[in-house]
Amino acid sequence: MSGERNLWSRRLALDLRASLGVVAALAIVPAFVDSPYWLGVLIVSVYFALLALGWNLLAGFTGQFSLAPAAFAMLGAYTTALLDYHWKVPLALGIPAAIVSTALLGWLLGRVVLRLKGPYLALTTLSFAEIARVVIGNSYVFTRGDQGLNVPALFHSRVGYYYLFLGVLLAVLAGLYFLMRARAGRFWLAIRDDEIGAESRGIDVVRYKTLAFALSCAICGLAGSLYGTFSQLVSPELGLLLQTGLVISMVVVGGMGSLTGPIVGALIVYLASEWLREVGNIQMIVFSIAVILFARFLRTGLWGLATRAP
């Protein structure tokens, strides 16, 4: 970006306006589309948009390249599902519980990986994600393993779910905007750019890193929990590394380090995925090529392309 527009506060404001525009566009879709199938597709893409926003907070803004976002979605979903399955806890408590449990676990994970960078961080978070998935998948007695658990629905209207997800997206977007605009956001960016420099200037890197982990994982956990009530089924497949791969692709294609990028990336990738599935089941091939090409030639993603200085 050139000139004044490159100031962080301006960049972020532009970013927010663009993302609100996308949300607004999504909000009027049900006026034109009433096929439950396509509404469902859009709901799932908003689910992914939430995961993408959560992961972007950690990786795009704070520079911590975790491979665990899908695992936390799974953990959030299972928190709600297990509370219902074993103790009949109502969703009004079960969903917030998912936020709390994933925030805590995320905070813990953040503390554990504090000193790790790059491939070490990626491998540790990958191990954590896979261990979580394998443990849940194998604890048949507690979690019914691969068969998954049924989850009650919040309500039975697909349009209702559509607006619920959209509402949560809006809330997360607003929350992220206010955080990124304030001290926390600037410190996260500083940590991303130069952790040692940040420390030497008095930024409490430990606190902000673990905070980023907690928030990011909580967003993923919330998304997972809501998804569980929508699909009325949770299974360990939610936490597959493949899902994390999808999330990463979405953010890379959309543009890391922005608010609009992850949302747009999620929509494009997931909608394209559905379309490609009909065309010949080649969606994953196309994405992986897209991811590779973007990473190689267009690092800043579509958002970076759109906001590049002329």
Partner 1 sequence: MLALDLFVNGLIFGLFYALMAVGLAMIFGVLKVVNFAHGEFYMVGAYTYVLCSMKLGITPWLALPLAAVAGAALGWTVERLLMRPLYAGYSSWSIMKDEYAVVVTFGLSLLLINLVDKVVGPYPYRGPALIETSRFAVGPVMLNGQKLIAAGISIALLVGLALFIKRSLWGRQIQAVAQNRLGASLAGIDATRTTSLIFAVSGLLAALAGALLAPLINPSPDVGAFPAVKSYVIVVLGGMGSIWGAMIASLLLGVLESFFAVYVSYDYRDAFGLLILMLVLIFRPQGLIGEKGRDV
Partner 2 sequence: MSLLRTEGLTKHFGGVAAVDGLSFEVEEGEIHGLIGPNGSGKTTALNLLSGFLAPERGRVWLAGEDVTGASTVALARRGLLRMFQMTRVFPRICAFDNLLTAGLARGLAESESASRADALLEELTLGPVRHLDAGQLSGGQRKLLEFGMCFMAPPRIALLDEPFAAVHPVMRETMAGFIRRRNQQGHTFLVVSHDMPIVVELCHRTVCMNAGKLIAAGPTREVLRHPAVIEAYLGSGSHA
* Site residues, partner 1 (CB under 8 A): 59, 65, 67, 112-113, 115-120, 122-124, 126-128, 130-131, 134-135, 138, 193, 196, 241-242, 245, 248-249, 252, 256, 281-282, 284-285, 287-289, 291-292, 295-296, 299
Give the residue among 14, 7, 16 at the shortest CA–CA distance from 173: 16
Q: Does 146 bind partner 2 (CB under 8 A)?
A: no
Q: Does 202 bind partner 2 (CB under 8 A)?
A: yes
CB 233 within 8 A of CB 61: no
The residue whose two tokens read 């009530």 is 229
Q: Of the two residues 7 and 100, which places its CB atom closer to partner 2 in the complex?
A: 7
Q: Does 178 bind partner 2 (CB under 8 A)?
A: no
Give me the least distance between CB of 15 and partner 2, in Å please: 14
The set of residues, in sequence order, having a beta carbon less than 8 Å from that of 64 and lying 6+ positions away, is: 58, 110, 113, 121, 209, 212, 213
Q: Can you read off the two tokens belonging to residue 138?
A: 């194998």
* Residue 24 binds which of partner 1, partner 2, none (CB < 5-8 A, kind-dependent): none
Q: Does 13 bind partner 2 (CB under 8 A)?
A: no
Q: Is 215 left (phi over 0), alpha (psi -120 to 50) or beta?
A: alpha
End-to-end CA gap in the chain = 8
Q: Which residue stretch of 25-33, 39-47, 73-81, 194-202 sits at the interface with partner 2 (rule: CB under 8 A)? A: 194-202
Secondary structure of 145-175 in HEC code, one letter for each residue: HHHCEECCCCCCCHHHHHHHHHHHHHHHHHH
Give me the least distance between CB of 134 and partner 1, in Å please: 4
Q: Does 7 bind partner 2 (CB under 8 A)?
A: yes
Q: Quote the CA–CA distance of 152 and 154 in Å, as a whole number.
A: 7
* Residue 134 binds which of partner 2, partner 1, none (CB < 5-8 A, kind-dependent): partner 1
Q: Which residue stretch of 48-56, 90-98, 197-205, 286-294 sits at the interface with partner 2 (rule: CB under 8 A)? A: 197-205
Give me the least distance between CB of 207 and partner 2, in Å please: 10
Q: Does 35 bind partner 2 (CB under 8 A)?
A: no
Q: Of the two residues 200 and 281, which places its CB atom closer to partner 2 in the complex?
A: 200
Q: How many CB atoms lie within 10 A of CB 43?
A: 22
* Residue 187 binds which of partner 1, partner 2, none (CB < 5-8 A, kind-dependent): partner 2
Q: Is 166 left (phi over 0), alpha (psi -120 to 50) or beta?
A: alpha
Q: Quote the CA–CA distance of 75 and 62 in Å, as a whole number.
A: 22
- Point out which residues bind partner 2 (CB under 8 A): 2-8, 182-183, 186-187, 189-190, 192-194, 196-205, 257
